[in-house]
Amino acid sequence: MDKLPFSFFLFLVCCYSHFASAQCYNALFNFGDSLSDTGNVVLAGLPYGMTYFGHHTGRCSDGRLVIDFIAEGIGLPHLPPNTASNASFHSGANFAFIAAPALPFDFFHRRGLSQGLHVNASLHEQIDRFQKLLPSICGSPQGLSTGAIFRPDNSLLDSCKIPLAECRDFLSKSLLVVGEFGGNDYNTGLFGGWSITKVRSFVPHVTRAVAEGIERLIGLGAVDLIVPSVLPVGCFPLYLTLYQSSDPTEYGRRTGCLRRFNALSWYHNAALRRQLDRFRKKYPAVSIRYADFYAQLFDFVINPVKYGFTAGALRTCCGAPGTGNYNFNLQAKCDQNGSTVCSDISAHVSWDGIHMTETAHRIIAQGWLNGPYVNPPILSSPTS
């Protein structure tokens, strides 16, 4: 009897080891910002990466990120950054960049805010990179045919190619995570001195950009997408320090978070969900699942001990000891100017004031893989 191909053996192993899932993915692709960048931007050294990797990899945490745990959960390797040299992308790639906004440079330049941008890596820029990489991933240099692909606004994409059947088939068996996007768009306005009311006007532009990005990916052949919300930034030590108020009504009674900043996040998430609902009707054969970062982190804040966060959710682990209620100081940020790392990282939600610890990422990923914060969970049929 002929021997079975090794690729078929791997397929059986995948399906057997993940029998809870009706979907076996052959690849994972990620788009986003510092919450999921695995090395496209490397800005700092240890203690970033200390918990799992033992060295800094570009991840804004002490260890693994949500996307790392998602990859592990579906039986795939950690995603290489798409800028990596001599890397194999056949099991997936990461296009996320630290500080990436959803919107393009021109949006902020027209509003006098472009100095607050650190990278030119908007969602559409990331998808452009993905599209250029596809021919090498799909197994044939002829994986894409010359032609034209249009954005949802009918504007032609420069130097674009239409995916042939082999690429569309490959993407139909892949999982794509699109986001989180929006946090850096709003930060650019807020840190640029704009009021929350003015920054709120960005929301329709941001959520429309995310929707257009999703539609581009569907056009390339994606049929299974996870789209995360933004987080409740009013619970971040960075915001709690920068925007401290003597008015107790500025803070949530149960959480201690800044209510107006969480209201901005909530407004974004409501608009994003409307966009996703619209696409589910437009593309009934495509699974577009919402990942509720907001509700999950909010539960950490309300019930920290339930998750083992005995140091609470509002106090930074890697920061300036003895600095206020949140252990955060812009002049002594993590890895700078004498900042220190807490003795028990796993007791904290916040790693450096704006990013989370590996422990928090692990728990969040479990909520996506097994529910209830992605519905249906990743480890189930997306159409069940």
Per the document, the length of the chain is 384
- The residue annotated as part of the active site, out of 37, 185, 224, 352, is 352
- The residue annotated as part of the active site, out of 78, 124, 268, 355, is 355
Residue 88 appears among annotated catalytic residues: no
Residue 104 burial (CB < 10 Å; 0-12/13-18/19+)?
middle
Closest CA to 348 of 305, 309, 297, 314: 309
Tell me the β-bridge partners of 110: none
State how far Cα 64 lies from the chain centre.
13
Cα separation, 230 vs 180, in Å, equals 6
Residue 84 burial (CB < 10 Å; 0-12/13-18/19+)?
middle
Residue 309 in tokens:
């966060």
Residue 224 appears among annotated catalytic residues: no
- The residue annotated as part of the active site, out of 34, 229, 287, 346, is 34
DSSP string of 40-54?
SS----TTTTTTTTS
Residue 352 appears among annotated catalytic residues: yes
Tell me the catalytic residues. 34, 352, 355
